[in-house]
Structure 1
Amino acid sequence: MTNWNEQTYIAGMTWGWTGIRGTWTTKEADRSMALMKERLAINWTAVTFAALQATPQSTTIPFAEAPTVTEEEVRHAIAEAKRNGLNVCLKPVVNCVDGTWRAHINFFDYDVPCEPKWSDWFASYTSFILHYARVAEETGCEMLCIGCEMVQTDRREAEWRQLIREVRNVYSGIVTYNCDKYQEDRVQWWDAVDVISSSGYYPVGDWEVQLDRVEKVVQRFNKPFFFMEAGCPSRRGSELLPNDWGFQGETDGTAQLEFYEAMFGSSDQRPWVQGFMLWDWPSTLYPEEQAASNNDYCMFGKPAEAYIRNYYSSKLAQPNYSSSN
């Protein structure tokens, strides 16, 4: 396993979301992984998938059930990433079947008889994360992300610290947690992970303010930092609301490009920002000739693609950064 150091730079892209069973071991998926490396000049990928609990108040996460990808599919994706020369962050995530965003998974602070409990949920979540922590160890994943944008859980400091201790018993690589946007200064247990990471969905024009705020967190905990997620749909107006995947703007690749220009431009002035795991690159790509009519986060065949490739290539060429760990 590898260790993080000041020469580490994450020129990364998220792959495979949401991890639908049957889509990760196809020729299309292998082609997608190879094109991601070729088109974006990345050195890292986050192999990312979701297990599903029924509602935000459910306490059971049946992570081995469809439609979630199987463990065999996860291992295949990791092997493909490695075959393409990529460092891998394994990122198991939980979502809700009823469509509620996982940030709203929540229970009473104090146990009440006959009501769902934090202890039951964390027991199930820990089983899920430990299962894939072992997979990450066995397959040589350089990093493990133990949670993503779990805003209402963030206050459960004792449970998260216990989970991290258990993870470290089975996994020897880098451990991070992906907090949600605007939550970097609210998590109180950053000292327990190796690297602080967050979702960088900040509007054009607001990056300097948000980076000023995040910088104080990095200084307080004296930990490395990168954006585990960051991206923008190719829709006019999305550069001002990059986290709103349902925003109904006119399809426009230049809006996506403007977001990346703002984000990279501001972050370049902050040496403590040690990279990005951009959002996102699907396991099955749309035909490249349809890129101009695609309005999702993926930048395949869009104006932002070449910009990202050039940016990552220039960063990894700098003598103070290494192309891998």
Structure 2
Amino acid sequence: MLTPRSTRWLSGLLAALVLVGCRCDAPQRPVSEATSVDAAKDAPRRREPEAVRGLPAAQARPEGFRRGVSLGLFVSERDPRARRFYYEQLLDEIREVGATDVSLVVRWSQRDVQATAIAPLEGVTSGDDVLTEVIALARARGLRVFLMPILHLGSRRRGQWRGTLKPVDEVAWWASYEAFILHYARIAAAQEVELFAVGSELVSMERQAERWEALIREVRGVYGGELTYSANWDHFEPVPFWDHLDVVGVTAYHELSQEPDPDEQALVAGWRPFERRLKRWAAAQDRRYIFTEVGFPSHSQGAARPWDYTPRGEPDAALQLRCYRSMFRVWNADPRLTGVFIWNWFGVGGASDRGYTPRGKPAEQVIRRWYGR
């Protein structure tokens, strides 16, 4: 039970988390439904939230559709009080927006694009005990778990990111990367995680098909659940090892508009080139796919640079809302899309926040509509 003291502590913690993650304040709670016919007749009719007014109803989805939300495990290990208290609240909120699945994101780091050693990031990488505890908390809320290890760069120059790695010794890098992925594959197996990613957005390393196939075999040797890879939105076609995976994963950070303040119609139009490209490829390959990440930072550059996690504009929750509404309109009825993971619930949020989280922002209502809440 929260006390005034614990509430004050949580408020301070949430404000401090802006630096390490992405984002929020008080979530909106669904109104309890009447429990009898008479009560339902007498109850006042709920007004449709303005944020979703005019949107179509969510299309029926096949059983097993992943109504997902990502949750970065980015609370500093230096504050053990944060472990259960903060993640427990976030998982409650994720369940309340209608999610059936949660993607737990863990980060290890390498020094720069040329480095070969990959290791936990001090103060940011959650310990294995924290991860297993959060998996148990998710299970207790009826959520399926997708475990996604991602690679962080400690230092990078302009234009560098994990998609432009050039390790000076590729053999050494692959040995380190394999240790990283197998570490979490064993945890995924022990905790009976439903979906596991063998990598995310490692564009420059994807051409080494034999290395990836060997890694996938190693992972299958310890983990029996479904496997995916999270390909970048502009580089999913050339990935040479899709046939060795169960699920095609794509990050959907397609640039929607370079206009300074695009309206919803312009944003819908902005989705069309990526939509046509992905649907054409999926049909040709006879594959279904999931969005392993999709989201928009709530600042004035959110539509032009949805992939850019560094805040570059003024807070703009209204633009974030329009981006989510456009996404709903374009992808609501795609039969090959079998799952979506909203990036990222972690963070402070609220009207003045410029990060990705929809917490405490109008965009949260669009997620509720899409996920049937």
Coarse TM-score class (shorter-chain normalised)? 0.7 to 0.9
Q: Distance in 2 between matches of 1:253 and 1:266?
A: 20
* Residue of structure 2 equivalent to 1:167: 219
TM-score (norm 2): 0.75
8 A contact 1:17–1:281 mirrored in 2 = no
Question: Is the counterpart of residue 189 in structure 1 residue 246 in structure 2?
Answer: no
TM-score (norm 1): 0.85
8 A contact 2:73–2:126 mirrored in 1 = no
Report the CA distance between 1:273 and its aligned residue: 1.2
Report the CA distance between 1:252 and its aligned residue: 1.5
Structure 1 segments unaligned to the other structure (5+ residues): 108-115, 315-325
Q: Distance in 2 between matches of 1:62 and 1:244?
A: 24
My pick for the range that moved more, 199-208 or 187-196, is: 199-208
Query: Which among 86, 92, 96 is matched to residue 34 of structure 1?
Result: 92
Q: Distance in 2 between matches of 1:296 and 1:66?
A: 21
Q: Which amino acid aligns with 1:27?
A: F
Question: Is the counterpart of residue 152 in structure 1 residue 204 in structure 2?
Answer: yes
Question: Is the counterpart of residue 271 in structure 1 residue 335 in structure 2?
Answer: yes
Question: Is the counterpart of residue 25 in structure 1 residue 94 in structure 2?
Answer: no
Matches within 5 A, 1:184-263: 184-202=236-254, 203=256, 204=267, 205-263=269-327
Q: Which amino acid aligns with 2:332?
A: D
Query: Which among 143, 148, 160 is matched to residue 86 of structure 1?
Result: 143
8 A contact 1:239–1:258 mirrored in 2 = no
Matches within 5 A, 1:33-52: 33-38=91-96, 40-52=97-109
Question: Is the counterpart of residue 72 in structure 1 residue 136 in structure 2?
Answer: no
* Residue of structure 2 equivalent to 1:299: 358
Q: Which amino acid aligns with 1:196?
A: V
Q: Which amino acid aligns with 1:298?
A: T
Identity %: 29
Report the CA distance between 1:206 and its aligned residue: 2.4
Q: Distance in 2 between matches of 1:120 and 1:237?
A: 38
SS of equivalent to 2:303:
helix
* Residues 296 and 164 of structure 1, relative CA distance in 2, 3 Å threshold: same
Q: Which amino acid aligns with 1:77?
A: V
Q: Which amino acid aligns with 1:95?
A: H
8 A contact 2:185–2:222 mirrored in 1 = yes
8 A contact 2:311–2:354 mirrored in 1 = no
SS of equivalent to 1:25:
helix
Q: Which amino acid aligns with 1:198?
A: V
Question: Is the counterpart of residue 54 in structure 1 residue 111 in structure 2?
Answer: yes
Q: Which amino acid aligns with 2:364?
A: E
SS of equivalent to 2:338:
strand
Matches within 5 A, 1:96-111: 96-99=153-156, 100-107=160-167
Q: Distance in 2 between matches of 1:269 and 1:67?
A: 38
Query: Which among 13, 24, 27 is matched to residue 69 of structure 2?
Result: 13
Report the CA distance between 1:247 and its aligned residue: 4.8
SS of equivalent to 1:280:
coil
Report the CA distance between 1:22 and its aligned residue: 4.6
Report the CA distance between 1:255 and its aligned residue: 0.6
CA offset digits 1:125-163 (Å, max 9, x no partner):
111111111100110110001111111111111111111
Q: Distance in 2 between matches of 1:35 and 1:142?
A: 21
- Over 6 Å off, 4+ runs: none
Q: Distance in 2 between matches of 1:64 and 1:269?
A: 40
Question: Is the counterpart of residue 63 in structure 1 residue 120 in structure 2?
Answer: yes
Alignment RMSD, CA only?
2.0
Q: Which amino acid aligns with 1:105?
A: L
* Residues 54 and 258 of structure 1, relative CA distance in 2, 3 Å threshold: same
Q: Distance in 2 between matches of 1:217 and 1:165?
A: 26
* Residues 6 and 192 of structure 1, relative CA distance in 2, 3 Å threshold: farther
Q: Distance in 2 between matches of 1:239 and 1:65?
A: 33
Q: Distance in 2 between matches of 1:51 and 1:225?
A: 26
Q: Which amino acid aligns with 1:249?
A: G
Structure 2 segments unaligned to the other structure (5+ residues): 1-60, 257-266
